[in-house]
Chain A
C-alpha cells in the first residue's frame, strides 16, 4: 500500500518510535565559535544508544538576545533510556566537553513547569571546585528563583545552572529516503534536515542528521546485537532474498528524529518528508518499524504528509 506526494511514492507505513528521557541545555560562550565548539564536542559519539551512552544533537543556534547571559548560544538535546541513563552522560559530557571548553557556561533549557524531573547536574558538577565553588542565587522571593554554581577554573570561572529539566520524550522517529542515485538521496536528505531543524524541540543525532547505515536488530553473529539493514542495502538487492529495495533505487539514507514530545517528532517527520520529495531522483519514502512490537509510538507517514 502506498500513496504519492509530488509524484513520489510514499509507503503507507509507520515509524516506530520509543520512549526515552530527554533534556535540553543551553551552552553559551564568548562567541559563536566557542559555543559551537562546545556543542559539537558535547554531542560527539552520541548517535545511537545501540553503542553510545546517549543520543544527542544540536537543536538550534540560540541568538544572544535569547540566552541568559546575552552571549551566543547553542541549544543541545540529550536523550537516554532512563532518567539515570540520561543524568549520567549529561554530567559526564558537561564535565568533559563544556566545563573544559574556554569561555563557556551552561544553562537549563527545559523549565521546571515543562519537565517531569529536575536533575541535579550542576549540584554534582560543583565538586570540581574542590570546595572553592560559589553558589549563585537569583530572584529569591521576587522573581523566578534560579540557582547556579560558579566553579573556579584556570581560565577564569565556569558557570553552570544547578538543575536541569528532563522529561519523558520520544526517540526513533524516522524515515528512509530512497534515491535513484547517491547524489539524489543525499541532496534530498540534506534538504529534509534543513526543514526538520526549523521544527522546535527535535534533534537528528546522526552525522549531519543522516544515517547511511541503518541497522536491523540482531545479526548472524552471536556477539553482535545490531547489523546492517540488509533489506535496504541496494548493493545486495539480488543476493539478499528479502530485499525491499525497488528497482531503480541505488541509494538509501535514513533520518532519525528524537524530540521532546510526540507532536514535535511527527511535525519534524512531516517537514522532512515534504522537503525530500521535492528533489528530483527521489523514488520512494518509507519508514522503519518492527511491526509495532517494540516501540510505544507509531507515527504514520500518511498522517504526516497526507498524499494523493
Chain B
C-alpha cells in the first residue's frame, strides 16, 4: 500500500466535515490536488490543506491507498465515510460519523471515536482502540436499516443504541455497552464482553439477529423469554472468528461455555436471541 500522511495543523474551534479523508477520494490525485480538496466548516468550505500538512505517496486505486492521520482529530467528522477500500489509520481520536456507510476497506482509530461511528456500515472493518460514542453502527434517524455488513470492534466501551436497526454484520464491544443496544435489531450479531445496560434488544425482530453477552447483564426486558441453557455449536464458530480473525483473545475463554438463551422481543412478536454466557452470571 502507498502511505499518505496527514499531519493536523491544530484543532479548529468548530468541527470540520472531512469526507475527503478517504482512500476513494485521494487515490489517483497529486499532492497539491489533495491539499485543495474541499472540507466543510460551519457554513463555509475550506481546502483540506488549511487543516493538515499533506505528504507521502498516492496510489492509483483506493484499495492500495493507506492514509495515516498523525494525531487525534476529534474535531473531524466523516473520516472514511462511504469508503470502499484501502485503509485509514487515525493515531488518536476521531470525530463523529467515522466510517459511516463505508462498504469496504479498514479504518483503525487508535483512540476513541465519537457518536455514529460506523453508522449504516455496509462492509469493511472499523477498529476503535478506545471508546465509541452513542449510536455505534446504528441507523440514521428515519432509516429502517442500520448496519448491513462489515465488522466494528471497540476495545473500550460503547454508548447508547449500539447496533440499533442492525440488519447484518457484526459489532464487538470489549467493554460495556449503554442502554438499548440492539434496539430494533433485525439480523446481525452484537458481542458484548463488558456489562450490557438495560433495554438490551428492545423491539428486536429476529431474522437470525443475536446479542451475545459475555459479561454482566444489567437487566433483561420482561418480553425476553428464557428457553434453555446449552452449548450451541454455532457460538464456537463466532468465538473462534473473534479470536482468530479479530485477535480478541478473550473470546477464546468462552468457546466451551454454556449459554442461556432468551428469545424476544415478544412486545413486537420478535424471535431474536440474547445469549448470556453461563459462567458470567445472568441478568440482575
Which residues of A does B touch, CB under 8 Å?
Answer: 28, 68-71, 105, 134-143, 148, 150, 156-157, 159
Contacts and interface: CB of A to CB of B under 8 A. Distances in A.
A143 B232 CA distance: 22
Contact of A143 (B168, B233, B240, B245): B245
Given A135-B207, A137-B208, A138-B241, A150 B150 contact: no
A141 B150 contact: yes
Contacts, number: 74
Query: At the interface, is chain A mostly helix, strand, loop or mixed?
Result: strand
Contacts of B187: 137
A143 B273 CA distance: 23
Contact of B123 (A69, A138, A142, A148): A142
A141 B208 contact: no
Contacts of B233: 28, 69, 71, 105, 157, 159
Given A136-B234, A157-B233, 12 more contacts: A68-B237, A69-B236, A70-B236, A134-B273, A136-B208, A137-B208, A140-B148, A140-B149, A142-B149, A142-B150, A142-B170, A156-B230
Contacts of B240: 68-70
Given A134-B208, A135-B208, A150-B232, A141 B237 contact: no
27 contacts: A69-B233, A69-B236, A70-B240, A70-B255, A134-B273, A135-B207, A136-B237, A137-B187, A137-B208, A141-B103, A141-B168, A141-B169, A142-B123, A142-B125, A142-B149, A143-B241, A143-B245, A150-B232, A150-B234, A156-B230, A156-B231, A157-B230, A157-B232, A157-B233, A157-B234, A159-B232, A159-B234
Contacts of A140: 123, 148-150, 168-170
A71 B150 CA distance: 27
Contacts of A105: 233
Contacts of B208: 134-137
B124 A141 contact: yes
Interface in B184-205: 187-189
A148 B230 CA distance: 19
B208 to A, nearest CB: 4
Contacts of B122: 141
B237 A138 contact: yes
A134 B205 CA distance: 13
A68 B122 CA distance: 25
Q: What are the 6 closest A-B residue pairs judged by CB atoms, nearest first?
A: A141-B149, A141-B123, A140-B149, A69-B236, A141-B150, A159-B233
A308 to B, nearest CB: 51
Nearest to A143: B245
A137 B168 contact: yes
B236 to A, nearest CB: 4
Interface in B41-57: none
Contacts of A157: 230, 232-234
Interface in B208-239: 208, 230-234, 236-238
Interface in B100-133: 103-104, 121-125
